Amino acid sequence: MKIGIDIRTFMDANFSGIPEYTHNLLKEIFKLDKKNQYILFYNSFGDFSCRIPGFKADNVKIVHTAYPNKIFNNILQRILYWPKIDRLFNVDLFFVPNIAYIALSNKTRSLLTIHDLSFVRFPEFYSPKRQIWHRVMNIKKMAKRFETIVAVSEHTKKDIIELCGIEPERVKVIYSGVGAKYRPLAPGNTDCERVKKHYDLPEKFILCLSTIEPRKNISGLIKAYGLMRQEYPELKDYQLILAGVKGWRYKETLRAWHDSKYKEDIRFIDYVHSNDKPAIYNLASLFVYPSFYEGFGFPLLEAMASATPVITGTVSSLPEVAGGSALLINPENAREIADAMAAVLSDVKLQEEMISGGVKQSGKFSWETSAKAYMSLFFN
């Protein structure tokens, strides 16, 4: 059997989120399947081959077209619906691991993974330009063209059924995995020492690793941190470290930081390289993820696997992924977040219970399990 896979997500400048998801999933599939043929497709006018991870397998071939991306995506694929990518490579099934414009024929089996529908559920979290783009994209119409839709959580499945009008039997839930590199590291670990020095991290800190954008509620976390510092002065040694690239409307978050009485103890450290993330989770005293909406929430599991206590929201897929091993808060309530942070940082026994439960919960999510679930869809 010949399977085509869209790997245009690797064109993203930062290797995190969906690119990292796609890489981990495909790496595991190719480890398990040495029989079937895989054609990995991407488009780029320039030479971006350096962004494509190396997949060392005899049954994997990487091919690309060389159109300018704006012409390829917006005119050829979206409007003209040409060329039919599955026909170019004569595949039996085509897998698209993230929402993207792609023209496929009706004769080929097709599978699309939808990670979240935040842009449909909460359009106000996006800039006017992005809202227009999302409307033009028309995810409801796009999803209906695929034979099977994969949702990364039960919550995302419900959103797909409700917001896209997809029949429930066509939507399959396959949980994402958490990489083996996310694990407890011994004190004094060389990676931890290197990362601590590189990012100039303090001895004690609360960590949030997330794109800086309204949906992630970083402004609410900054406010909660201020309340914690004000009402629990004994916790003054804990700084707040905000890791992640600047996203849409990030200036709102910067204003919240600027207005904070404790801004000297709140630091933005921008993008954290994938290789540095295990160490930074281990170094953190507490991980807080107060997002308003997540289709899955990788940082949640990564922190748990790294033996760091986690606080996250009662909303969307977050309780589903946390599985009772995180302290859940209302992300709309800064005081509740502040009290939760203080409770964890002040109680060693609670920390130990959360760490033990988090490591156990994260162990339920593996890329091998994800890969086998995808393969059962490919070959059935």
Q: Which pLDDT tens digit goes with each residue over 312-360?
A: 999 999 999 999 999 999 999 999 999 999 999 999 999 999 999 999 9
pLDDT of residue 267: 97
Predicted confidence (pLDDT) per residue in 178-216, tens digit: 999 999 999 889 999 999 999 999 999 999 999 999 999
Task: State how far the alpha carbon of 117 is from the alpha carbons of 54, 83, 153, 180, 297, in Å.
Answer: 30, 27, 12, 28, 13
Asked if residue 295 and residue 202 are part of one domain, the reply reads yes
Q: Is 0.85 topped by the overall pTM?
A: yes
Q: Is position 57 within any domain? A: yes
Q: Could you tell me the residue range of the domain that residue 40 belongs to?
A: 2-177+366-379
Token readout for 67 is 């159109």
Same domain, 137 and 19: yes
- Which tens digit of pLDDT belongs to each residue from 42-72? 999 988 888 888 888 999 999 999 999 999 9
Same domain, 170 and 220: no
The CATH code of the domain that includes 358 is 3.40.50.2000
Residue 262 in domain: yes
* Helix, strand, coil in percent for the chain, rounding step 5: 45, 15, 35
Please indicate, yes or no, whether residues 35 and 50 belong to a single structural domain of this protein.
yes
Same domain, 317 and 373: no
Q: Are 208 and 287 in contact (CB under 8 A)?
A: yes
Count structural domains, the chain. Answer: 2
Is 182 within the bounds of a domain? no
On whether both 314 and 330 belong to a single domain, the answer is: yes
Q: Which is it for strands 310-313 and 286-289: parallel, antiparallel or unpaired?
A: parallel
Average pLDDT over residues 82-110: 96
pLDDT number for residue 215: 93
Does residue 225 sit in the same domain as residue 309?
yes
Residues 374 and 351 placed together within one structural domain of the fold: no
SS3 of 135, please?
helix
**Looking at the domain assignment, is residue 280 inside a domain?**
yes
Say if residue 211 is in the same domain as residue 139: no
pLDDT tier for residue 17 given thresholds of 50, 70 and 90: confident
pLDDT of residue 13 exceeding 80: no
In a domain, 183, yes or no: no
